[in-house]
Structure formats: C-alpha cells, structure tokens
Amino acid sequence: MTKLMLAANWKMHLGPEAARGFLHAYLQRHRSAPDREVWFFPSAVALEAVAQATRDRRDIRVGAQNVHWEAKGAFTGELSVSMAAEAGAAAALVGHSERRHVFGETDDEAGRKVRAVLTGGLTPMLCVGERIEERDAGQTLAVVARQLAALGGLDAATLGRIVVAYEPVWAIGTGKTATPADAAEVHAAIRRWFADRGVRSVRVLYGGSVKPENAAELVAEREIDGLLVGGASLDPASWAAITAVRAPD
C-alpha cells in the first residue's frame, strides 16, 4: 500500500519558538495512521526545533526547504545537505516555484540539488509546474517534461528515490486550484516519464491552494499520492484537518 503523503511547506514563517508552539497544538489534534505520513518543511532556523519536537513520531518526517548543491564552501546564506541532515532533515524540497521564479533557480541548478540530496542520503522532493501563460498556450506537459529533464543520466534505482510535487504556479497562493482531473493528467504524464526510464513506481503529490475544503476531493483522485500545502499548513487546526483527510466513498 502506498501511504498518503501530506507535506507542509511553511515558507518564511514560524521561527523555532513559534514552530514548537504549533507542534504542541497540532500533535494534540493529530493521531498517527498506518495509511499516511506527514512531512514538515520548516524554515532553516526552525528545522532542528521541528525535528526535536517530532523525534518520537515515526509517522512524521522533517525536511529542508532548500539546499545548495555544493558540500561546503564560500556560499554565504546557503545550507548544505549535510548541515540539513545534522539538524534532523530526512528530505529537502528542490525547485519550488518560488525558488525558480523569485530567485531565478534554473532547471540545471535544480538537477544539481537533487543529486546532492540523493548523495547525502536524503529524499528529494522535486517541484515542477507551469505558469498561467504556459498553461493557456497548451504547454503544460512540455514545461513539466523540460523540468524533469534535469534528472537526465540518473539510473532507475536512483530515480525511484525521488518524490515529485506538481504545483501549477498559477494555483499557488492564488485561491485557484487545478481540478482533480487537471492534476491527474499531469501526474499521469510524470509517471510515464519515469516509467520510460525503468521506474515502476513514483510518488507524485499535488500542490496549489490546497485547503481543508478541497483536500478530500483531491486525494480521491487515483493519480494523486498526497498534497504539498503552503498557507493552510500554518494553522494547527487547519493542518490537522488536512492530515486527517479521507477520500470520499
């Protein structure tokens, strides 16, 4: 059974003290379940606090929001994979749309980061997705394929360690959400890309204005293995509702 993966991206919110307060409130509401796992991607300064607060919960994993591809060096403000792991990270986001479109991260740089995360023994969650003008031009699948091409040269066993999050840029923080059918089409294309390279199974999440009100409808779609959530993961009650979601019968 593939476990439902529910990931919280806190972005530039919740420092160490606020993170500890959040988890105190959230863990009182959330019970572990064998069919799902919860991931937290806090800010770099709160990473260790979240890892410590959840260390006794085997159903919860913690990751970094961003890492550098170099192991060390004169890269002021950057975080290496080994530093993230030492702070308690088991995973790292790579290529989030804000890294790409606000900070100018390229597909090539995303590919380097994925390789660094894999080399460091962590799980990379590679984010892919199109802008609204690309969607309107019918280029969604081509854009996603281009972003996945940064993984070129990795063998099937290595590719199988990667989690992919499809997050259409036009749906992030806008209140707009891709329909389950829209997401399913892209998720199926992502699976075909991996299958063509010998990967029999890949976990593909959806992200983009996910809320308690639409979470159940999204996870009911067979192609969606979980959710990557931004704003709605910043409130303990809202996040507890999402992590308890059940697909409608």
Q: Which residues are catalytic?
A: 96, 167
In 3-state terms, what secondary structure has residue 61?
strand
Alpha carbon distance 167, 93 (integer Å): 12
| Among the listed residues 211, 207, 232, 234, the one whose alpha carbon sits nearest the alpha carbon of residue 46 | 234
Cα distances (Å, whole numbers) of residue 75 to 86, 90, 151, 183: 18, 22, 24, 37
Instruction: Find the Cα–Cα–Cα–Cα dihedral 143, 145, 146, 152, rounded to 10°.
Output: 170
- The residue written with tokens 């992502």 in the block is 190
| Phi (first) and psi of residue 40, to 5 degrees | -120, 130
Alpha carbon distance 134, 23 (integer Å): 38
Contact predicate 210/174, CB 8 Å: no
How many Cα atoms are found within 13 Å in the side-chain-facing hemisphere of 222? 2
Helix 107-119 and helix 140-148, axial crossing angle in degrees, nearest 10: 50
